Structure 1
Amino acid sequence: MSFSQKILKWYDRNKRHLPWRNTKEPYPVWLSEIIMQQTRIAQGLPYYSNFISKYPSIFALSEASESEILKDWQGLGYYSRARNMHETAKFIVGELQGEFPNNYEELLKLKGVGDYTASAIASIC
């Protein structure tokens, strides 16, 4: 068994089961990456669950008011993340017809998306 096969086998036995790992759709992956920036999983998971329930699509998120988004974000800190997330949702819906960019370089152009987040979305989706 190669080293990479051993790592993958270890991961299969030890991975954490997180809801955004069960999809190839970019919206829940992006949402999780934005929420989890500088946040522990245990703290961010309830926020992710609330956001994905209340705003199940990029369209729903884009239609919410900024004050509603900020209220739902309350307690998570770094409110610029919430503002960037909302602006990006409106951009994706308004300019990209609701379709996320499908490559790393284009993902980097989204507000609030840096190297790590763009890499995560590009590699998962």
Structure 2
Amino acid sequence: SEIILQQTRVAQGYDYFLRFIHRFPNVTALAEAPEEEVMKCWQGLGYYSRARNLHAAAKSMNGVFPVTYEGGRALKGVGDYTAAAICSSAYGMPYAVVDGNVYRVL
């Protein structure tokens, strides 16, 4: 969901997320899918480099998502915000999820 929501409002990305996880329920399913299928599932969402990066990242994981900030950050297309958001929400790690809006306030 964090990759889908990069530069996308939740209301717009929600249905894409549901369709995406239905078709690719785990990292292995995504890694084994042809790129054309990944792109078709992403069609209409825009910023297609996100789909290509997500697919490349899935291929590099050998079926196991990294459980550290550094491991997530090393994946193609995953920046500081996305790595922190995944660590915080998926693994309960104490990472602050700071985006451009938060930086402006600080």
Match of 1:105 among 50, 59, 70: 70
RMSD: 0.8
Match of 2:6 among 5, 15, 37: 37
User: Which residue identity lines up with residue 121 of structure 1 in the other structure?
Assistant: I
1:25-54: CA deviation from partner (whole Å, max 9, x where unpaired): xxxxxxx00011000111100000001111
Unpaired segments ≥5 residues, structure 1 = 1-31
Equivalent position of 2:28 in the other structure: 59
User: Which residue identity lines up with residue 69 of structure 1 in the other structure?
Assistant: V
Instruction: Name the % identity.
Output: 60
Equivalent position of 1:86 in the other structure: 55
Match of 1:69 among 35, 38, 59: 38
Segments ≥4 residues shifted beyond 2 Å: none
When Rg is computed on C-alpha atoms for both structures, the one with the higher figure is 1
SS where residue 34 of structure 1 aligns? coil
Q: Does the 8 A contact of 2:27 with 2:65 survive in 1?
A: no
Unpaired segments ≥5 residues, structure 2 = 92-106
TM normalised by structure 1 equals 0.70
TM normalised by structure 2 equals 0.82
Identify the structure with the greater helix proportion.
1
Greater relative contact order structure (CA < 8 Å, 6+ sep)? 1
How many aligned residue pairs are there?
A: 90
1:89-115: CA deviation from partner (whole Å, max 9, x where unpaired): 11112xxxx221111112110000001
Q: CA deviation at 1:85?
A: 0.4
